[in-house]
Chain A
């Protein structure tokens, strides 16, 4: 009897852990995918990427505390807003760097986006206050047999799934989307078939910012957010990209899922190691399979 109860308890806990892990992984995957897209298209390391997530989370928090509007509705409004943010970011800070040799541009982009990241952080702490913000948005849970399932987590998962499918369709079926994918595979090849590289770079920043901001909407439902979460998250996304393989968009998605699951599972069994697990995985991957799960070795 006791053994059966124990087993049921374990099944419940592990299912909830896995749902939580997939959701966290999905949030990681969304944001990291944007970073991967930007890197793949422009060879630019956008260290301000986590700030887009933080801003998305802040806006979502403010809208919810002000109007009690569901974060899922806010998310739809964030799409055009953050497309503009990302697009302006590229136009104002990144495009002036173009025309330099690749290695110089990479270094310049790191300095410029790191500066932008610190500036955005300061701005946010001034505008929204430095304290933690948690969005207490809940939906009634429901029960399946012995398992209690959180509706909001399922809704979050569904939202992320729809978003991923929409993104996939865009990249696979539209000319602009294909131009983005082509540019990540061969920048020179894309130029020679008539792709406007600058427009594609701009588009990828817009899309990247949208994905990060939407990830922020879910992030603030699950974790408290301060203006300072951006840069540490950016580092985690870099781990995910390396984990999945530089230049592999699909690898990034999978890398995000893997890291989310690992973190949640580790957090359950030994909480202290959860935050570190990303970097442990990174070191292991670099030792065992330096090109990442789905990466190619070619330059």
Chain B
């Protein structure tokens, strides 16, 4: 479904990501793990068209997306939920969700999608008229995911959804992520919380210093000595 070939990204003249190739198949959950600054977020930003790609190619759903504008990429159903969330702080929860269904196709389905989002996150329904900027961290993360779902994604790229949240809320988020995946949405997950990410995923990639150094079934990586030592703290 998503195929990234030899992606390279740099900030000015400083290279950040080199030669990254990865795939996500339909209905899969794939995680991308690695230390801070390994280039995980940069990779996602390049795929979603927020950062310019220096070289390499991105294919999605049979079409090449390399260098397409971010709005075109959203239209195709490839949605990124950024780590910093980037909500619209002075809009209400309901207005944020409405903005999520901005592209033409999502607009038609907006009412039905909204019912689904409210079912996944009843809290968003309770808080629908509250300004997004006044929500708690966990609620903001729910809204960020809800807003992403409003765009009717075929593939959701989640960047550190659990960062800074209480363990109970994190468990909730992982459970909901699996539920979203069951509705035929593929997921590419970037996580610091490697153990929980690997337990939830089908496959995974490990990134170090801007390169992919290891790839495989999530279960196999969970048992890999190197991964256990470096990322699972075992």
By a beta-carbon cutoff of 8 Å, the part of chain B in contact with chain A is 12, 48-50, 52, 69-71, 74-75, 79-82, 84-91, 95, 98-100, 102-103, 106-107, 147-148, 150-151
Complex contact B90–A185 (CB within 8 A) = yes
The 0/1 profile, CB within 8 Å of B marked 1, for residues 193-207 of chain A is 111111000000000
Q: List 11 A-B contacts (CB under 8 A).
A: A101-B12, A178-B99, A186-B86, A186-B87, A192-B81, A192-B82, A194-B102, A195-B71, A195-B102, A197-B70, A298-B89
Say if the beta carbon of A80 comes within 8 Å of chain B: no
Q: Which of A189, A190, A195 has the most CB of B within 10 A?
A: A189
Q: Which residue on chain A has the smallest CB distance to residue B80?
A: A192
Complex contact B99–A192 (CB within 8 A) = no
Contact of B86 among A101, A192, A198 (CB under 8 A): A192
Closest approach, in angstroms, between the C-beta of A193 and any C-beta of chain B? 5
A191 to B99, CA, bound (A): 11
Say if the beta carbon of A182 comes within 8 Å of chain B: yes
Residues of chain A contacted by B99 (CB below 8 angstroms) = 178-179, 182, 190, 193
Complex contact B86–A179 (CB within 8 A) = no
Residues of chain B contacted by A182 (CB below 8 angstroms) = 88, 91, 99
Residues of chain A contacted by B50 (CB below 8 angstroms) = 188, 191-192
Say if the beta carbon of A268 comes within 8 Å of chain B: no
Complex contact A189–B88 (CB within 8 A) = yes
Closest approach, in angstroms, between the C-beta of A104 and any C-beta of chain B? 10
Contact of B89 among A185, A195, A197 (CB under 8 A): A185
The 0/1 profile, CB within 8 Å of B marked 1, for residues 83-99 of chain A is 00000000000000001
A178 to B100, CA, bound (A): 11
By a beta-carbon cutoff of 8 Å, the part of chain A in contact with chain B is 99, 101, 175, 178-179, 181-182, 185-186, 188-198, 296, 298
Q: Which residue on chain A has the smallest CB distance to residue B147?
A: A193
Complex contact B86–A189 (CB within 8 A) = yes
Q: Which residue on chain A has the smallest CB distance to residue B73?
A: A194
Closest approach, in angstroms, between the C-beta of B63 and any C-beta of chain A? 16
Q: Which residue on chain A has the smallest CB distance to residue B11?
A: A101
Q: Which residue on chain A has the smallest CB distance to residue B98?
A: A178
A293 to B48, CA, bound (A): 36
Closest approach, in angstroms, between the C-beta of B16 and any C-beta of chain A? 14
Residues of chain A contacted by B84 (CB below 8 angstroms) = 188
Q: Apart from A193-B74, A193-B151, what are 10 other A-B pairs with CB-CB below 8 Å?
A: A179-B102, A185-B90, A186-B87, A186-B88, A190-B88, A191-B71, A192-B70, A192-B86, A194-B75, A197-B70
A191 to B72, CA, bound (A): 10
